[in-house]
């Protein structure tokens, strides 16, 4: 491929990987980041803010995740101490770990292919 590419430009291989159902996305790199932020912040709104995303969008993602999981991956509470909050359930933590590992293998795949291509 190297000989086909314009010599002045800097080429790289990139990609996305996700788990989907017939009519919705389930897990992807963005949702992984969101779950991680929720874990760290203990709150959907803080996680959204941290990621520069609207609260509504973050909430929708959490809702989609929970709706498609066997058991909720994020547990939320309205009102109470600190106004409420959100925490990643054990199932959610397992999801984070498994997807993170998948993502790492994907990165390795891309790195290997990039080495072959360029």
Q: Which residues bind DNA (CB under 7 A)?
A: 43-46, 52-57, 59, 62-63, 76-86
Q: In 3D, which of 117, 27, 28, 42 has the Cα closest to residue 77?
A: 42
Residue with tokens 């080429």: 11
User: Out of DNA, its own copies, none, which partner does residue 46 contact, by CB within 5 to 8 A per kind?
Assistant: DNA
- 30 or 84: CB nearest its own copies: 30
Q: Closest approach of Cβ 75 to its own copies, in Å? A: 15
Report the nearest approach of DNA to the CB of residue 116 (Å).
28
Residue 33 near residue 40, CB atoms below 8 Å: no
**Smallest distance from its own copies to CB 60, Å:** 17
Nearer to DNA, 72 or 103 (CB): 72
Residue 14 binding result from its own copies, DNA, none, given CB thresholds of 5 to 8 Å by partner type: its own copies
Report residue 34 as tokens.
Answer: 């969101």
């Amino acid at each position: 491929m190297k000989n086909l590419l314009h010599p002045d430009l800097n080429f790289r291989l990139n990609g996305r990987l996700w788990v989907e159902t017939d009519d919705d996305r389930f897990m992807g790199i963005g949702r992984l980041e969101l779950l991680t932020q929720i874990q760290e912040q203990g709150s959907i709104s803080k996680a959204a803010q941290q990621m520069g995303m609207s609260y509504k969008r973050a909430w929708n993602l959490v809702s989609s995740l929970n709706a498609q999981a066997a058991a909720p991956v994020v547990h939320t509470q309205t009102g109470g101490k600190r106004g409420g909050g959100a925490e990643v359930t054990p199932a959610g933590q397992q999801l984070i770990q498994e997807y993170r590992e998948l993502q790492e293998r994907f990165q390795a795949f891309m790195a290997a292919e990039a080495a072959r291509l360029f």
